[in-house]
Structure 1
Amino acid sequence: MPADRSIAFRLILVITLSGTLIFSAVLGYNYYRSRLVLQNELQHNAENLAMSSVNRVETVLTSVTKVTEGVSRSLESGRYSHEELLTLLRATVRDNAEIFGACAAFEPLSAKARPYGPYYYKQNGQLVYDPEVSFQYLLQDWYQISRELGKTEWTEPYYGDNGASTLMATCSTPFYEISGGTRRLKGIVASDVSLDWLTEMVASIKVLKTGYAFLLSRNGTIVTHPSKEMIMNETIFSLAEARNDQGLRTLGRKMIQGKSDFIPYTDINGRKSWLYYAPIPSVGWTLAVVFPEAELLAQVKKLSLTDAAMGLTGILLLALAVVFIARSITTPLQALAGATAAIARGDFEVELPAVRSNDEVGTLTTAFQVMKSSLKEYISRLTETTAAKERIESELNIAHDIQMGLLPKTFPPFPGRHEFDLFALMEPAKEVGGDFYDFFLVDDRHLCFVIADVSGKGVPAALFMAMSMTLIKATARQGFPPDEILARVNNELSRDNDTCMFVTTFCGVLDTETGELVYANGGHNLPLQVKSGNRVSWLPKSGGLMVGAMEGISYRRERLLLEPGDRLFLYTDGVTEAMNVEEEIFSDQRLERCLSAVQGSGIRESVDGIMAYIRSFSGAAPQSDDITLMMIQYNATRDSRR
């Protein structure tokens, strides 16, 4: 479902489709169950209809069979004269409405004997006698079959040859005589039955509007059928052959075998139907009843169409109800969405929709009202805070510029002095930092230099740094040695030091003529000496405490003689404690290797190279502490010393 559709559209679509699917499933199942119930009921009714018709036919044919067998037994048990025989036959035809004609055909005693078979039949309401010479009964099926089988038999239906053109069937049964202990065939008693009544009875079987019944003989010949041209002219097998219908051929075999069933059937007109067939036991014929499927299911389809119309109406009403409910939900939501869009653009004066209910939409609207008020207040405070932050950042930038202005940045610092070279840089972790360096000539012969690291960071450290730097420079210019400088500055800084801040400091004074370095260390990282020949060594520890920690501390004075070409590298702990993303520190060992690697370069390139090493090592990790580097190279020759 497209995500950009409205909630109302999706709600209507989902509920309508769901209702349609559910209704379709129920309607389909109802149609299937109705058809199944109808089919079972139809089979029961078809069986009752067919069997009632079979029983009616069976009753007539059984009575004819019994009358014929009764005449046969009479002829076996007594001797009848010609007149008596005629009287018996005439009474048989007269007293039995179902019998069209009756005959007693005697078996000739010799080949030359004249056939004797008196025959009475009905014609125009009168009994007519036909002498034995009027037909050759010895060649008739009814005579030959009973004679050979020695039992009562019915012939296949046929058209009579007595001028009546009546569809008939004959029941024949033999009668015998015993002579000299031998049982000999005496003749055949035959009763002709007109099948007009049977045709009318079968034709009277009405099934719905176009359903019908038909009758097959035991050989599959069509005896009765709505299509007159098929009667006695077609068999079920000839129809199967003409239609190349193997199913119809199989059905014909089952019919002549005396079976019964209820099956789907396609009639000669190609209409889908249901067929029930059952045998007539006394003659071996089959009665079949055809039920057109379209007419059977018409009521089911009509009911289904009615259900479908009602369901469609229900779905439309449901859709209208969903539209109404969806609109009642989405209309305030749309209004709320418009108001929130205005809020998103910064319009906090926009009016939110009025709360008209206590449902989820009302709760949401109330929540947005609270949110609008909170956002308005928050934005107001944020604006004030941002302005204050920008003001502080501006002041910090000014402080940074002032702090950096305190540090000497001109290199080389003393262009006319070639007996030494010096370069330094500082990179604060924040706008302002606590590291600092300084250098200045105390007199024409002595260079004083300082590197220091104030505890903490930011503005407090910067202020403490400025104060420390000023005190150190003022004290050093009075000509005091480094240990005295640190002691005096320590006493000044520790006095009234409520913040308990301190500064690690390395202070040295270089005699530019002799190369003698006098220094004192107030808890600072040990500098490294790089001698000619690329030998790197650490200055020995002096054990001095941080400056400003407490009053009355003394510091040890140390001495070092620099040879021409020797370098002194000073730094703060931001160098060795720099970390990378794996939280590894740069370490003293890496610093020592870096000094060895940059030894062949000038002091400015060497310091920049060390800084590049540190940045490459740290990578994307943020800088956590100020970084300050200073390198001094002594250049005077030994001949210049005094």
Structure 2
Amino acid sequence: MKIRQKFFVLSGLVGVIIAVMSCVGYYTAYTNLERSVEGELSATVGAEAQGLDGWIHGKANYAVAAATIMPSVGNKGAVPQMQELLKMVASDKEVVGLVNATETGTFVSAKKDNTGKVNPQERGWYKQAKAANGKLSFTEVYKDSTNGKLVVTAAMPYDADGKFAGAICEDIELGTLETAVGNLKYHGEGKGLLISPKGNIIASTDEDENMKPVSDNAALAAHFDEMVQKGEGYFSLDTPEGKKVLAYQTIPTTGWIMGISVPEDVVFASLTRLKITYAILTLLGILIAVAASLKFADSLSTRLERIREHANEFAQGNLAQEPIVIDTQDETGDLAAAFNTMGEKLRSLISDIAKTSEQVAAASEELTANAHQSAE
């Protein structure tokens, strides 16, 4: 195998090493960047979810406060006092209704006493509160029949004499939900949505999806059970608009799932740029290594070829060659200098031999002449 071929193989090995090192570096950078993107996406959803959780919890505190003080009023003969208390805690414009209902049939709001006209036992929120074991609970979101706005009912039970006595019903208008969902953006892109634990889309940037079941969205429905079980995370899904990444987080107070779906090319734009950068750098590294190796191989081969030709001329008896000129400070330069010295020594040696031969010939002739004289 010639030197050029050896260097070509060597440059190939160097290229492979560069490629492997680039792949390892790319994988490490990709992993770190992917985690960063995931963290940023999750933080975007988490910030809105946390804000919404604080908002809904703050609103529900009216029901909690009313349920705390209502047992002291009693179940009978204190309707005006009940209404005064309900008015006091229901000072928020987004609280569209606050009702106290009891096991004895009391059904009083801040403005009206419907005792005897409405049976609390038939109301879903009341049954839910009764089964909640003293904890705050929320109904499914629904549209108000009068204004069409989204409303959720918070139900807070309370006890008297150690047993369930009644519950506070608080109707909360959810215009803030639509605002929060609309604010969900990742680098200015994305579609926000809010899903109830039962699989209904409460609010979405795409208003056509509002108050529709998740099952109407096949791509989302395929992951809904996973979302409920895990509580937070992200996954890829195929939509008519293309591949998207959906990050989600559960709101603790209500169990609602808040999510944002962003086009995959937006989410992984930085990863795509990283891939292209590493590919270009790897290709340039390999090309430079191969070019440098081949150039060095050609240079070395050229110098060795000149020395070989010089040696062949010596072998043919041509000692009258010009000295080899190789201006490099390496082994080939030393080898060329050695050949030049060898040529000078050979020429000097041949010259000395020629002179000695002439002297021997002259001496021989003289001896021959002497021998003739002696013979005569």
TM-score under structure 2 normalisation? 0.72
SS of the residue corresponding to residue 271 of structure 1 reads strand
CA distance in 1, matches of 2:203, 2:301: 73
Q: Please give the residue correspondences for 1:190-589 in structure 2 after superposition, counting only pairs within 5 Å.
A: 190-235=169-214, 238=215, 242=218, 248=223, 250-254=225-229, 259-266=230-237, 268=239, 271=243, 273=245, 275-277=247-249, 279-290=250-261, 293-310=264-281, 312-313=283-284, 315-319=286-290, 321-322=292-293, 324-340=295-311, 346=316, 348=318, 351=321, 354-357=324-327, 359-365=330-336, 370=342, 373=346
The offset of 1:198, in angstroms, is 1.9
- Structure 1 runs (4+) greater than 6 angstroms displaced: 129-137
Contact 1:100 1:193 in 2 (8 A): yes
Q: Give the structure with higher Rg (CA).
A: 1
Higher relative contact order (CA closer than 8 Å, sequence separation 6+): 2
Q: 1:169 aligns with which of 129, 140, 152?
A: 152
CA distance in 2, matches of 1:244, 1:68: 34
- Kindly provide the amino acid, as one letter, of the partner of residue 187 in structure 2: L
Unaligned runs of 5+ in 2: 354-376
Contact 1:154 1:172 in 2 (8 A): yes
Q: 2:35 aligns with which of 40, 45, 55?
A: 40
The offset of 1:169, in angstroms, is 0.7
Contact 1:177 1:184 in 2 (8 A): yes
The offset of 1:72, in angstroms, is 3.0
Equivalent residue pairs, number:
344
The offset of 1:25, in angstroms, is 2.1
Instruction: Say yes or no: does 1:24 pair with 2:8.
Output: no
Instruction: Say yes or no: does 1:145 pair with 2:117.
Output: no
Contact 2:130 2:164 in 1 (8 A): no
The offset of 1:251, in angstroms, is 0.5
CA distance in 2, matches of 1:166, 1:227: 16
CA distance in 2, matches of 1:326, 1:177: 97
- Kindly provide the amino acid, as one letter, of the partner of residue 321 in structure 2: E
The offset of 1:159, in angstroms, is 1.3
CA distance in 1, matches of 2:313, 2:150: 100
- Kindly provide the amino acid, as one letter, of the partner of residue 245 in structure 2: S
* Cα distance per residue 1:195-253 (max 9 Å; x no partner): 22022113212223434543221223222333333332122xx268x45986x254144
- Kindly provide the amino acid, as one letter, of the partner of residue 159 in structure 1: K
CA distance in 1, matches of 2:47, 2:291: 56
Percentage identity across paired residues of the two chains: 20
Change (3 A) 1:328 1:153: closer
Aligned to 1:71: 66
SS of the residue corresponding to residue 193 of structure 2 reads strand
Change (3 A) 1:363 1:150: closer
Instruction: Say yes or no: does 1:92 pair with 2:69.
Output: no
CA distance in 2, matches of 1:140, 1:73: 21
Contact 1:34 1:300 in 2 (8 A): no
* Cα distance per residue 1:529-581 (max 9 Å; x no partner): xxxxxxxxxxxxxxxxxxxxxxxxxxxxxxxxxxxxxxxxxxxxxxxxxxxxx
Contact 1:215 1:223 in 2 (8 A): yes
CA distance in 1, matches of 2:26, 2:299: 38
Unaligned runs of 5+ in 1: 110-114, 121-128, 381-642
Contact 1:339 1:350 in 2 (8 A): no
* Cα distance per residue 1:425-468 (max 9 Å; x no partner): xxxxxxxxxxxxxxxxxxxxxxxxxxxxxxxxxxxxxxxxxxxx
